[in-house]
Amino acid sequence: MGYIGESIRRVEDPRFIQGQGKYVANLELPGLSHLAIKRSPHSHARINSINVEAAKELDGVIAVFTGRDLADGIHESGACGALPCGFRPPGIKVPAYHPLAVDKVCHAGEGVVVVVAESAYIAHDALDLIDIDYEPLPAVVDAKATTQESAPRIHDDIPNNISYTWVLGDKEVADKAFAEADHVVGSI
């Protein structure tokens, strides 16, 4: 069998077309637990209080953690700090980004509480037993309006919600090229 100019059938396909593919969700490990995340329904809100007592008492629930629990290190493995940012252009301002919201949520869908349970159904049941008192704050939903002085500030330590300004290219060289061009199409 030649390979040049031939359409080669993939060797891995037979298992996928017969339902024998192995995906993470198919793994059944000894002692496997399930996790569910309670997420913020608000775009921007202060978390006044979180009550997880009823969730913790539900049969089959193994553990419940809030963002504060992780940040303060209530677990024997210690405190879980903010997640580092891998992209660091000059002058970037990086807010502390925690695995779960601490004291305040900054976007709808942000994780607030996690439940670990013996089954996925129990973990999701427990989410319904968690009581969170939110104080909604003004949200920003428009990228340009967000950077105005009057816009609500999402992170207290970052004025105008601007993380960084990234400038590319050489303005002088570009201006000269346009000035000397035979034709300029459109406007800048």
Q: One symbol per residue from 33 to 72: x for binding other proteins (CB under 8 A), - otherwise; what is it? A: ----------------------------------------
Token pair listed for 79: 């405190």
Alpha-carbon Rg for the chain, nearest whole angstrom, is 25
List 3, 6, 20, 150, residue binding other proteins (CB under 8 A): 20
18: contact with other proteins by CB under 8 A: yes
List 1, 5, 6, 19, residue binding other proteins (CB under 8 A): 19
Residue 10 vs 171, nearer CB to other proteins: 10
Amino acid of residue 10: R
Residue 19 vs 186, nearer CB to other proteins: 19
Q: If we measure between CA atoms, which residue out of 96, 94, 126 comes closest to residue 113?
A: 126
Q: In angstroms, rounded to a whole number, what is the distance separating the alpha carbons of residues 128 and 177? A: 63
Q: In angstroms, rounded to a whole number, what is the distance separating the alpha carbons of residues 84 and 98? A: 9
List 3, 23, 87, 166, residue binding other proteins (CB under 8 A): 23
Sign of the torsion formed by the C-alpha atoms of 98, 101, 107 and 113: positive
Question: What are phi and psi for residue 156, nearest 5 degrees?
Answer: -55, -30
26: contact with other proteins by CB under 8 A: yes
**φ/ψ bin of 106: left (φ > 0), alpha (ψ from -120 to 50), beta (otherwise):** alpha
Q: One symbol per residue from 84 to 123: x for binding other proteins (CB under 8 A), - otherwise; what is it? A: -------------------------------------x--
17: contact with other proteins by CB under 8 A: yes
128: contact with other proteins by CB under 8 A: no
Contacts to other proteins by CB under 8 A: 7, 9-10, 12-21, 23, 25-26, 121
